[in-house]
Chains A and B, each alone.
Chain A
Amino acid sequence: MKTNDTSRREFISATVLAGLAVAGCSSGKNPFQPDTATLETVKPSGEMVKLLSVNGEVIEVDKAFLKPVPELPQVSNQLARQGIAGKKFVMVIDLSRCKSLKKCQSACNHMHSIHPGQNWIKVYPQQEADHTAPYWQPTTCMHCDEPPCVKVCPVDATFKRQDGIVLIDSDRCIGCRFCMAACPYSTRVFNWEELNLPKEIAEKPYSCETSVPQKKGTVGKCDFCPDMARKGELPHCVSACPNGVFMFGDLNEDAVTNGSETFRFSELVRDKAGYRLMEDLGTKPSVYYLPPVNRNFPFENKEEKEENKKS
C-alpha cells in the first residue's frame, strides 16, 4: 500500500508539472490538467505499469490511473501559416504506374474525414486525342507557386507558405467560393452541409495543417499533409498507393520518395520528361507528372470503360 501511495503522489506531481509546462507555451484549455474528480473516484487495480517521468526517472503507476492523452493542436495558427523553414515541398506523380486503384483517394478521404461523395484526390480517365491511348491521371492540389486561389481570397483564408504549401484556414474562410472559381484544376470542394462526423473527430482541435475537422460553409482541398511532414512522414496518398505512383519530397534536398524508392528529383524529372499541368496558365504548380508511357490500355474492366465513355 505504501508504494502505491508514493506512486500516486508522484504521478500527480508529474502530471501537474506537465500541465504547467503545456500551459506555459499554449493558451486555451489545457488537456493535461488532471481531472481531480475522477482521480478521487478511480480505484487502483493493483496492476502496475512502468513509465518514464518528465525528469527521466522510471516510475510505476497503477494502470487504473492511465488515460489517453487528448490530441493537441500540433502548431499554432501563426506557425501553420508560416510553414516549415528551409523546405520546398514537391510531388511527382508517375502516370505510367497508375492503375486507378484509388487507394490514394480512399486513404485521403478517410484521414481527412471528407464529406461522402466528395474527393480531394480525383483520378481522371484522360485521353489526349481520339486515336491515342487513354491513361489515368490522379490530381491533388497543385500547390502552385503563383496560386490563383490565393490571389482572389478576400480575407487571407487561403495562403501560400514558405515551404510552398497552399493551405486553407477554415476558421477564417467566409465561404465566398471565389477561390473555387479561380482554380483551373477544379481541386477545391465546398462543405455544403454540416458533416456527420464521429464525436472524436468532430471534437479534434482544428488546425490548418491537419484540415480536420472540415467545417460547414467553408472550402476544403488537398493540403499535402503538412502535419505528416512535420512528423517526418509521407502524405497519406503517397503511403497508401501500392504502385508507388506518388513521390513526395523536398526540392531543396532534391529528393523525392514513394516510401520504397527514393529518387533525385532533378534527375527523375529530367530523365523521364516530367511536366506540369496547364503550364501555359503560369500558375507554376508544385506537382510534376511523369508521362504515361507503357499504357496497358484500353481500360481493363467494364466499369472503367463506362466511366471513360461518360467523361
Chain B
Amino acid sequence: MESLAKQKIIEDLLPQKFGKAGKIWVVILLAFCTLGFVAYCMQLSKGLVVTAMRDYVSWGIYISNFVFFVAISLVGSLITAVLRLSQAKWSTPLTRIAEIIAVSAITFASIIIVVDMGRPDRFYNLFIHARLQSPIVWDVIVITTYFFVSILLLYFPLLPDMAILMKFKDKTGMAWLNKMYAFLGSFWKNTKAQIHISEKAVNILSITIIPVAFAIHTVTSWLFATTYRPGWDSTNFGAYFISGAFLVGAGAVVVAMYVFRKAYHLEKYIQNEHFDKMGKVLVMLALLYLYFNVNEFLVPAFKMKKSEEEHLMGLFTGEFAPVFWFAISTAMIIPILILITKRGRKPLPAFIAGLLVVIGSWFKRYLIVTPTLLHPFLPMHDVPEAYKHYFPTWQEWAIALGSLAGALLIVTLFARIFPIIPIQETITEIEEHEMSITKI
C-alpha cells in the first residue's frame, strides 16, 4: 500500500463512466423499475384487487419486501458505526458501500410500504391523525430518523472527497456533475477546524445510529409480535429480526464488494483480506441468526400448542416446507459451511455465500409474513375459495422486483457519481501508516 502515490489513489478511485456492461446493467434495472411502475399504476386504478392478497392473507410480499429492505439497511450501522467504534480500521473501504446500501434500502422500504397501502392518497393522515400507541407510528418515526442519520453519515465523509472531485474536474466529465459537487460541498475548505467538526459529527452520528438501527428493526418486528397470531406472538421477535438483519446486510455488502471490485478494478483497495474478515463476520452472524431460529421454532414445536401446531407443521413438513428448508439452508447453513474454511473466504466463494444469504433471507421474510396469516384462530370459512391461498400475482412480483431493482439502481448511480471507496480517508490512513513506520 505504501508504494501507492497519492495521485495514483485518486486516479484509481475517481468515479468512472459506465462501460458497456455498466450500461446494460443500468438498462436492465430501468426496465424492471418501469415494469414495476406500470404494475403499480394498474394497482392504483383498480385497487389492491390486482394482488393475490385477500381477507385472510392481508399482507403479502409487499410487507415481506418491506421487512427485507429494513433488514438490509441495518448494515449501514453495523459497518459504519459498530466497526468504526470498535476501531476496526480494515473496514474503512467498506463504509461507503455499506452506507449507500443502507440509504437506498431504507428509501425503498418507505416506498414499498406506501405501495401496500389501500389508500395511499390518505398518507397524510399518518401525520394529522397520528396515534402514538400504534406500532406503525413508531415505525414512521424511527425510519424517518434512521433515514436522516444515514444520509448524514453518508454525506459528511463525502465532503473532503467532493473537494478532490472538484479539483479533478476534467476527469469526472459532465458539467452538471461538477455543479452538483460544488453545490453540495464547495464550503469544504479542508481546514483543521472543519476536519475536527466533521470527525466529531461522524462520531456522534455513529453512536446515535446504533440505538436507532436497533429501533427500526425491533419496531418492524413488533408490527407482527404485537398481535396474537401463532407464529408472530413471540417475545423472541426483536432479537430474531435484528440478528437476521445484520446477517442479510453483511451478505449484501460482500456481494457489493465483489461486484465493485470487479467492475472498477479495485483489487488494491478491496483486498482478499477484506473478504476474509467479512467472511468471518458473516459466519458469526449466521450462527447467531441460527441460534435465534432454533429458539423461534424449537421451543413452540416442543409444546405443539394446538394453535401453533398447524402453522409449525406447515413450515416443517407441510406446504411451506420446501421454502422453509430452502431459506434455512441458503441463508445460514450453506454459507456457514462455505465461509468456515479459509479457502471459502476467498473473494469468489465469499461472493457466492453472500448471494445465498441475500436470496435465502428474502424468502425467510416471506415465511415470516404469509404462513401465519393462513392459520387464523378461527378456521378460514365463508369466503371464496381463492381467499384461502396466496400466491403473488405478476403485478406483485413486478412491483417487488421493481423496488429491488430501484434500490440497486440507486447504489449503481451513486457509484457513478461519487467515489465508492472514500478517497480522502484512504489517503489519510496510508499517510498515518507511513508516519508510524518512519517513527519506528
Binding site for B on A (CB under 8 A): 105, 117-119, 122-125, 139, 148, 151-157, 172-178, 180-182, 184-186, 188-194, 216-219, 278, 281, 311
Complex contact B381–A122 (CB within 8 A): yes
Chain B hits for A278, CB < 8 A: 377
Interface-side segment among B17-25, B79-87, B98-106, B134-142: B134-142
- Does B58 contact A190, Cβ atoms closer than 8 Å? yes
Q: Is the CB of A154 within 8 A of B134?
A: yes
Rounded to whole angstroms, the CA-CA distance of A177 and B57 in the bound complex is: 10
Distance in Å: Cβ of B403 to nearest Cβ of chain A: 18
A259 to B383, CA, bound (A): 29
Q: From residue 325 to 381 of chain B, which have CB atoms closer than 8 A to chain A?
A: 373, 376-381
Partner of B382, one of A119, A148, A217: A119
Q: Judge if B226 is at the interface, Cβ distance under 8 Å.
A: yes
Chain B contacts with A in 31-70, Cβ cutoff 8 A: 46-49, 51, 53-56, 58-59
User: Inside 8 A of B133's CB, which chain A residues have their CB?
Assistant: 151
- A190 with B48, Cβ < 8 A, contacts A117-B384, A152-B135, A217-B119 known: yes
Q: B188: CB under 8 A from chain A?
A: no
- Give chain A nearest CB distance to B54 CB in angstroms: 7
Query: Which of A157, A174, A180, A281 meets B117, CB within 8 Å?
Result: A174
Q: Which of B123-131, B169-177, B248-256, B285-293 contacts A (4 or more CB under 8 A)?
A: B123-131
8 closest A-B pairs by CB:
A175-B118, A217-B118, A193-B49, A154-B136, A122-B382, A154-B134, A192-B49, A155-B129
Cα distance A281–B130 when bound, in Å? Answer: 26
**Chain B residue at minimal CB-CB distance from A194:** B47
B136 & A176 in contact (Cβ 8 Å cutoff): yes
Fill in one digit per residue for B215-242: 1 if any A CB lies within 8 Å of its CB, else 0: 0000000011011110000000000000
Chain A CB count within 10 A is highest, among B56, B130, B382, B384, for: B382
A124 with B228: CB separation less than 8 A: no
> How far, in whole Å, are A311 and B55 apart by their CA atoms in the complex?
17
Among A105, A118, A148, A186, the most chain B Cβ lie within 10 Å of the Cβ of A186
20 A-B contacts (beta carbon < 8 Å): A124-B378, A139-B378, A152-B134, A152-B135, A153-B131, A153-B134, A154-B134, A156-B129, A174-B118, A174-B122, A176-B116, A176-B118, A177-B59, A178-B135, A181-B229, A182-B226, A185-B378, A190-B55, A193-B49, A278-B377
Residue of chain A at shortest CB distance from B387: A117
Q: Closest Cβ of chain B: how far from A133's Cβ, in Å?
A: 17
Q: How far is the CB of A150 from chain B (nearest CB, A)?
A: 9
Given A117-B384, A177-B58, A278-B377, CB of A190 within 8 Å of CB of B118: yes
CB distance from B124 to the nearest CB of A (A): 9
Complex Cα–Cα for A175 and B153 (A): 34
Find A155's partner among B126, B135, B228 (CB 8 Å cutoff). B126
Please tell me which one of the listed residues B118, B126, B384 contacts residue A154 in the complex, with CB atoms under 8 A apart.
B126
Alpha-carbon distance A233/B228, docked complex (angstroms)? 35
Q: Is the CB of B378 within 8 A of A148?
A: no
| A192 to B, closest residue via Cβ | B49
Q: Which residue of A lies closest to B136 (CB)?
A: A154
Which secondary structure dominates chain B's binding surface? loop
**Chain B residues with CB under 8 A of A185:** 377-378
Whole-angstrom CA separation of A189 from B55 in the bound complex: 5
Are B54 and A192 in touch, CB under 8 angstroms? Answer: yes
User: A197: shortest Cβ distance to chain B, in Å?
Assistant: 14
CA separation between A188 and B117, bound complex, in Å? 16
Least CB distance, B336 to chain A, in whole angstroms: 33
Bound-state CA distance A195–B394 (Å) is 23
Q: Give which listed residue, B49, B137, B379, contacts A311 with CB less than 8 A.
A: B379
Tell me, rounded to whole Å, the shortest Cβ–Cβ distance linking B307 to chain A: 10
1/0 per residue, CB under 8 A from A, across B372-408: the answer is 0100111111111001000000000000000000000
Which residue of chain A lies nearest to B129 when distances are taken between CB atoms in the complex? A155
Chain A residues with CB below 8 A from B137, complex form: 154
Cβ contact of A184, chosen from B116, B120, B130, B228, cutoff 8 A? B228
How far apart are the CA atoms of A233 and B116 in the complex, in Å?
39
**Chain A residue contacts of B120, Cβ below 8 A:** 174
Q: Whole-angstrom distance between the alpha carbons of A302 and B235 in the complex?
A: 45
Given contacts A139-B378, A148-B227, A152-B135, 10 further A-B contacts (CB under 8 A): A123-B382, A173-B118, A176-B117, A182-B226, A184-B228, A186-B378, A188-B55, A191-B47, A194-B47, A217-B118
B10 to chain A, nearest CB (A): 49
Assess the A311–B136 pair: CB atoms within 8 A: no
Instruction: Give the residues in chain A near B51, CB-CB below 8 Å.
Output: 192
Smallest CB-CB separation from A188: which chain B residue? B55
Chain B nearest CB: distance from A49 CB in Å? 46
Which of A119, A151, A154, A174 is close to B383, meaning CB atoms less than 8 Å apart?
A: A119
**How far, in angstroms, from A154 to B129 measured CA to CA in the complex?**
8
The answer on a CB contact under 8 Å between B49 and A117 is no
A147 shortest CB reach to chain B, Å? 12
B56: chain A residues at CB < 8 Å are: 186
**In the complex the two chains form, what is the Cα distance from A186 to B380 in whole Å?**
9
Nearest-neighbour CB distance to chain A for B296, whole angstroms, equals 18
How far is A173 from B120 in the complex, measured between Cα atoms in Å? Answer: 10
Shortest distance from the beta carbon of A61 to any chain B beta carbon, whole Å: 45
Kindly list chain B residues whose C-beta atoms are within 8 Å of the C-beta of A151. 133-134, 226
| Residues of chain B lying within 8 A (CB to CB) of residue A194 | 46-47
B228 CB contact (under 8 Å) in A119, A177, A188, A281: A281
